[in-house]
Copies of this chain bind each other. A is one copy, B any other.
């Protein structure tokens, strides 16, 4: 699963660290981003005896995304703005060092679209990498917490922020940018881990020199085959200069294949949310990217949602798994898009292998045409066709997607992916909006509601659950099993060699289910709603499972930002999320806590 020798990554040491399952050295547990752990001390038989071992309040309210890094004896955790980092001694649970950057809250917080979240730290070369909200990327000495270098990755005054987890590959650290709701043009940037010097930067849109696309060598899936994109593949899909404020931000999770030396990630929605204002495919927003790790040169790119009309931001994570599809082994990349389709592509070539709905309530497109790679849009749910100032009713999924930032896990034991999912639909009314630097550039009013349909059949069933936890076969594009959850599952899962999958719920439960059947084996109510990722590691001979709780993120924005006045008037607040998640406040309140679980001695 995790590939080949680490010749080229000697500098950072990350790959080596991830090969020891006692560590959790990168957001996905490994470069492939599978969130699979070889540990099996906690297993389907004994997980019912799990119990909290210790806990640690972070001192920060609002949404806590991401998870801990564990490098040998030390645990590293992070908080949302103000982005405090704690290095914690596992033995004593005492804070070895802490670091809180200086940031201007008044400039930064107002331009964070979806809560003041941070998706966690990066590690490499003896350094902890902190991606501050205000776009400053900071390297800290992992032993002392002393700042080694900082670099400005963007400008919050222009609506740029950062929420993603820095990703160390060889001697660079990769980071993206947020601000799709502020007309920010997305990019991926690689900085030297030793100095913070920019090594390369590849935009999501613009001239080929900006995107690092080679018209002849960079390919995409078209006419049933891998095809060179040709010149100006991005700018020719935009009206005039709109690509300059075109979105396609890169705030998700990244993967790396050391053998192919390619990094993978998705780009976000085109700006604005009003599709009528921006004719064209708006390439390469909403796309999967394969870039050379050394130069940023684009190997291939694939657009999931050309000319987005629903904010189906394409940034979701891209686990790398080798599997047999249609009788042939492929090095695949798997991607569960906000738009409700689960994609399997060949990660070497970008060949499209599978594209099926992982939630059958999805209705905005009938299917993906496997030849063109394009979704077949249903006119009734086309906010473009219905036009400005018309409310498109009942489009599924809602803008926050059949899945959002919460990363999936994969178990080689079952060959299944475990998807933390949303199960909502929406009403969406686009309106004309002018771009002003640093101001919201949204152009749509939304409300959201339960999908009310079965996830497997798509049949209306009057259900009110907003979440599903689904096991998926990416070789065939089929659901193996799916559990309902009252609220969206906004927490990243982890699958283990013990046959267990762990995830958190918005009410605050850490849950363990049987990887084969989905049967619930254990749950515990942590202090606050969980939007963090569950990670697992071993210390001193004992397996631990840990998760940050702390309600927030887009789903929890009503509570996190205190913008729910409790009446229908505020339903459209928080980009449409407040109404749908109102009842969440009966279950959980703000507060960041890290809870560590173990079996009794």
| Interface residues in chain A, defined as those with a beta carbon under 8 Å from any beta carbon in chain B | 49, 51-52, 54-61, 86, 93-95, 508, 524-528, 549-550, 585-595, 600
Contacts and interface: CB of A to CB of B under 8 A. Distances in A.
A524 B590 contact: no
Given A52-B52, A52-B524, A93-B525, A57 B586 contact: no
A94 B49 CA distance: 24
Given A54-B524, A524-B52, A527-B527, A591 B94 contact: no
Given A95-B585, A591-B591, A593-B593, A526 B55 contact: yes
Nearest to A51: B51
Query: Would you list the 5 A-B pairs with minimal beta carbon distance, nearest first?
Result: A57-B591, A59-B589, A57-B527, A57-B528, A54-B525
Nearest to A55: B527
A57 B590 contact: yes
> Which of A51, A86, A588, A593 neighbours the largest number of chain B CB atoms within 10 Å of its CB?
A593
Contacts of A93: 525, 587
Given A51-B51, A51-B52, A524-B52, A591 B95 contact: no
Contacts of A593: 55, 57, 527, 591, 593
Contacts of A58: 589, 591
B57 A589 contact: yes
Given A86-B589, A527-B593, 20 more contacts: A51-B52, A51-B600, A55-B55, A55-B526, A55-B595, A56-B525, A56-B527, A57-B550, A57-B588, A57-B591, A58-B589, A58-B591, A59-B61, A59-B528, A59-B590, A94-B586, A95-B587, A527-B594, A591-B592, A591-B593
B61 A589 contact: no
Contacts of A94: 586-587
Given A51-B51, A52-B51, A586-B94, A591 B525 contact: no
A89 B175 CA distance: 44
Nearest to A526: B55
Contact of A55 (B54, B86, B525, B594): B525
Contacts of A49: 600
A526 B596 CA distance: 11
Contacts of A55: 55, 508, 525-527, 593, 595
A58 B590 CA distance: 7
